[in-house]
Amino acid sequence: MGKEKLAFSRDNRSTMLERMAGEPLDLLVIGGGITGCGIALDATLRGLRVGLIEMQDFAAGTSSRSTKLIHGGLRYLKQGEIGLVREVGRERAILYRNAPHVVIPEPMLLPLVEGGTYGRLATSFGLWLYDRLAGVEKSERRVMLNKEETLAREPLLKKDGLKGSGLYVEYRTDDARLTLEVIKSAVEQGALAVNYAEATEFIYDQGKLIGVAVTDRVEQREYTIYAAKIVNATGPWVDQLRRKDNSLKGKRLHLTKGVHIVVDQSRFPLRQAVYFDVPDGRMVFAIPRDGKTYIGTTDTDYQGDLAHPPVDEEDITYLLEAANAMFPTIGLTRDDVESHWAGLRPLIHEDGKSPSELSRKDEIFRSESGLITIAGGKLTGFRKMAERVVDLVVRELEQETGRTFLPCQTATQVLSGGQVGGPEGWPGFVQKHVQELAALNVEKEQAEKLVHRYGSNIRHIIGYLKRMGVQEPEVVVLDPAEGKQHIDPVLKAELCYCVQHEMAVYAEDYLIRRTGAAYFDKDTYVALYPVVNELLNPPSLSC
């Protein structure tokens, strides 16, 4: 791209936007969820000059509000979508290899109950078929358990009517962090990407889409960005942009809302993730994570505010009742719910189908003006979705300009933070860096969390800590009486990293999407919010 690569720092937001506006791009991606970030990475690796704009923070849409699983696609088997099972199974294996710090195998128990969705034979065969189609490693293939073995693995399950279970492996992720690792990888390769930058209008020349008017919501500045190709990867918002482009015809989005709730492990001491039947015929996950258990999801039609889908009391009641029915001794109540989130599935409408029946397949629409829209899909399939979109973009660019580009490179592209020696090297990597952090007075539990959160980018956190010359851990105190704040060095190192290498702008960016504290560590969230807000808004953090 000729110019020096810019760090993915909050301080470079204006420079990045100026560079996007300064010279036409090959590709402008609108939307910084997993779909848009995946497209930006793929296209950059093929040699395109790429820009991406996101009107909120990266992953602030659906991509931080999912069940956080990299699925092998078991539910698609039930819907007969064999090709999809194959594809997501392969994708899962690729992602595990390229980002083992953020994609973690999670054994999942599928209880078989009288009158439940699956019988023993059907489950056994279904999981067997799924293992083959999805190319599951031998060590992770399904095991059928009898009632006693099932209860030994998860004693909280309802004993009445339990016939046994199937045990298979899902992969757990942190959806927002995965999205960040993808966009960081794209920027490391030369892409320009800015959060809080909204596409407000399209610009045309003789009916052909040639650019976008953009508002920087932080600096309140306007830009015009021209690009040979423009991709609409705005998830739940794709129809809004299609409407602006006068191309909202034919297939449309069908939004469904999914809610999750989080309770403390002391109230729901689940040993093992479970995918279980709910009386209305749906299935729900309960998953242990970071000392909490999260339960979800609901699936209901939605038509309200896209940026802030509400969690309604009836959503919470539904999930509490589901958990209490399958785990009858826990007796969860509304007071046990520490946090929750709601996300919108940007699915493609099919007449007469209920929310749960709608396909999770993705589709690409190309309007007469040239706007390319990608709709539908899953977190798990983002790499393949990106490949399909960029194949189209490259085909058109090659025809129009005579230039040539590389084929898709992402199958072997290790993601930012993933330079840990592959899944085999990961445990040793964690151990080595926990020891290094111990020498800087970081306690084991916190050190493990940090290494898991940042993967190989932990070297930056260690670098900040060393530069601060940490001897004794300080306590976080917000002390308005004295007018000064003592900030925990680890918090400071993390904030510096997130601001200078992950473009965090506001306290929420750090506490919701970069650390997940808002959902999985509510006490820390409440305690830290004023401190972090003070440091970031307006920026006073010195790194």
Ligand X SMILES: Cc1cc2nc3c(=O)[nH]c(=O)nc-3n(C[C@H](O)[C@H](O)[C@H](O)COP(=O)(O)OP(=O)(O)OC[C@H]3O[C@@H](n4cnc5c(N)ncnc54)[C@H](O)[C@@H]3O)c2cc1C
Q: Which is nearer to ligand X, 89 or 489 (CB)?
A: 89
Q: Which is nearer to ligand X, 112 or 273 (CB)?
A: 273
Q: Which is nearer to ligand X, 219 or 398 (CB)?
A: 219
* DSSP assignment of 424-436: HHHHHHHHHHHHH
Q: Which is nearer to ligand X, 104 or 491 (CB)?
A: 104
The closest alpha carbon to 155, from 268, 312, 21, belongs to 268
For the chain, what is the radius of gyration of the CA atoms? 23
Taking the C-alpha atoms of residue 501 and residue 9, their distance in angstroms, rounded to an integer, is 5
Q: Which is nearer to ligand X, 231 or 528 (CB)?
A: 231
* DSSP assignment of 110-168: EEEETT-S--HHHHHHHHHHHHHHTT--GGG--EEE-HHHHHHH-TTS--TTEEEEEEE
- How far apart are CB 222 and ligand X at their closest, in Å? 13
Chain position carrying tokens 């973690």: 104
Crossing angle of helices 82-98 and 382-401, rounded to 10°: 90
- How far apart are CB 370 and ligand X at their closest, in Å? 17
Residue type (1 letter), 428: G
Residues 30-49 that bind ligand X (CB under 6 A): 30-36
Contact between 111 and ligand X (CB under 6 A)? Answer: no
Q: Which is nearer to ligand X, 429 or 519 (CB)?
A: 519
Taking the C-alpha atoms of residue 178 and residue 382, their distance in angstroms, rounded to an integer, is 11
- How far apart are CB 361 and ligand X at their closest, in Å? 11
372-376 and 362-366 strand pairing: antiparallel
The closest alpha carbon to 166, from 77, 91, 289, 66, belongs to 77
Q: How far is CA 366 from the centre of its chain?
A: 26
Count of residues near ligand X by CB under 6 A: 38
Binding mask 67-106 for ligand X (x = CB under 6 A): xxx-x-----------------------------------
- How far apart are CB 253 and ligand X at their closest, in Å? 11
- How far apart are CB 195 and ligand X at their closest, in Å? 9
Residues 259-298 that bind ligand X (CB under 6 A): 297
- Work out which of 258, 288, 355, 455 binds ligand X, going by CB under 6 A: 258
DSSP 194: E
- How far apart are CB 231 and ligand X at their closest, in Å? 11
Q: Which is nearer to ligand X, 162 or 337 (CB)?
A: 337
Contact between 344 and ligand X (CB under 6 A)? Answer: yes
Q: Which is nearer to ligand X, 357 or 398 (CB)?
A: 357
- Taking CB under 6 A as the binding criterion, the range among 340-348, 387-395, 461-469, 534-542 that sits at the site for ligand X is 340-348
DSSP 285: E
Contact between 63 and ligand X (CB under 6 A)? Answer: yes
* DSSP assignment of 210-279: EEEEEEETTTTEEEEEEEEEEEE--GGGHHHHHHHTT---SS-EEEEEEEEEEEETTTS---SEEEEE-T
Chain position carrying tokens 């940026």: 307
- How far apart are CB 524 and ligand X at their closest, in Å? 24
Residues 354-393 that bind ligand X (CB under 6 A): 377-380
Residues that bind ligand X (CB under 6 A): 30-36, 53-56, 60-63, 65-69, 71, 198-199, 233-237, 258, 297, 343-346, 377-380
